[in-house]
A and B are shown apart, each in its own frame.
Chain A
């Protein structure tokens, strides 16, 4: 995360390398910026002279949202690509972004745009964990529309008179988008559904979350309540995060304001434990100590309960805590779970201590009564 703040991450496709711009690119960059048929359809103006190209390049080489697109073997500059805030949506950079690209004329018609687009989508959804990616093209440039269609974008809006170009002409813009769900569906990857509350976003983990994940997993006070040993190395966290990614039962809890991952919550299949029917799941969660006492866990758990009963159609959700974890007990009671009892000496902790496990459950009917005021 820190590294991304300083410079843009280098990405690779089969034929291209996407890296940050540098002042060494000036000759090739100026040649690119002088091509009218390249610059205008992308909404830019043509560079008047080398001096203007140099100024633009200075900005781009500082820019964390702009890549130089180069040939992987010859290292020649082929074009530029960007992934910026979405100008149409009132969402944060950690939630939605707009992608765009341009290629020097001699690179046209060789499938580079599609190859590039696929990598940008992979980076945006799989590494940055975005909810949505949008892209637009001018109605005068239908070739771009075909690329977006191939990539799985949906045309959302034909915005009339949306853009006044550098030469004064006004053009219509067609805006397209692809959601996280659509992306993973196309790839045939089943993903946990993204949920949203007032302060939190619950989404699938990505490997980019590793530093945040390790930060709270290494804290001795955070893990001990769930019965696990604080992580001793980032390698240990990496393995567990891998497991989360494969299992697809766990959401990363992200604080919307900062985009930081501050905990996790899951709905686990309960079959190996106490109940063996498929419409029952066990809720489990953990929250970074720095965020305790603000009602965040209750907020996340309420939304997961809603999802469990109203969208997954479950019959029952169970949850338990170790007897000494009173903080969790309060969350569970606030949520309205029914106390079942205490399984004594039910769990052998890593340090050899035997723990009592306090079990609760909620049925679909109880959920309806508590959250929708329905009487039987």
Chain B
């Protein structure tokens, strides 16, 4: 899997040594709630998921360049909501450990992943979804120029039984090119 570099971050495949960092942010209830999942209860649970991540292509561990610590993940997976081949359309998902919020790190990582998606993987469309209460994520999507397609009401049942609305976004190749031009000026 290709290693991606930004100013402050290195995006690489997950490794077994990431377990402590991975468990630390997955057991934080404030992190999981935005993905609609309950905090991890044990290292074992994190270890299992980490194993799966290590096997997945296009799931990157977001690492801080100066400390080497794993502080989050970003992935391009098949979008099961769209009846499309993953060769030309994928869904973007990400999460970031709480101590690193508010520094523009996620925007920095996603920007590089979008470059990779459109310029190297040759995708036509990248979609992404968020729960309506996750406004932090909404700001990342808007900053990067994703188009809000609409909101699916009562879309997912959270672990505590609450029914959540899901907001849907996408970016096509033309929009990516436009955004790139605007931001390189």
Task: Write the residues of chain A forming the contact surface with B, with a CB cutoff of 8 angstroms.
Answer: 43, 87-91, 95-96, 131-132, 154-164, 170, 175, 177, 179, 196-200, 256
Contacts and interface: CB of A to CB of B under 8 A. Distances in A.
A159 B81 contact: yes
Interface stretch (B52-60, B62-70, B112-120, B153-161): B153-161
A149 B158 CA distance: 29
B154 A157 contact: no
B83 interface: yes
Contacts of A89: 152, 154-156
Nearest to B85: A164
A185 to B, nearest CB: 15
Most buried by B among A88, A90, A131, A160: A160
Interface in B53-112: 80-85, 89
Contacts of B121: none
A294 to B, nearest CB: 15
Contacts of A179: 153-154
Nearest to A180: B154
Contacts of B168: 157, 159
Contacts of A196: 157, 161-163
20 contacts: A87-B80, A90-B156, A91-B155, A91-B156, A155-B150, A156-B150, A156-B152, A157-B151, A157-B168, A158-B150, A159-B81, A159-B149, A160-B147, A160-B170, A162-B81, A163-B83, A163-B84, A164-B83, A175-B150, A179-B154
B34 to A, nearest CB: 15
Interface in B104-154: 124-125, 147, 149-154
A360 B153 CA distance: 39
Contacts of B80: 87
What band does the interface of chain B fall in when counting residues whose beta carbon is under 8 Å from A?
Answer: 20 to 34
Given A89-B156, A170-B84, A175-B152, A160 B162 contact: no
A363 B34 CA distance: 35
B172 interface: yes
Most buried by A among B160, B168, B172: B168
A155 B147 CA distance: 17
A160 B125 contact: yes
Given A88-B155, A170-B84, A160 B150 contact: no
B154 A162 contact: no
Given A179-B154, A198-B159, 20 more contacts: A87-B80, A87-B81, A88-B155, A91-B154, A91-B156, A96-B154, A131-B163, A154-B153, A156-B152, A159-B170, A160-B147, A161-B124, A161-B172, A162-B84, A164-B83, A170-B124, A177-B153, A196-B162, A197-B160, A198-B161
A88 to B, nearest CB: 5
A321 B125 CA distance: 60
A132 B152 CA distance: 11
A317 B89 CA distance: 53
A159 B91 CA distance: 13
Contacts of B150: 155-159, 175
Interface string B154-181: 1111011111000010101000000000
A161 B82 contact: yes
Contacts of B161: 196-200, 256
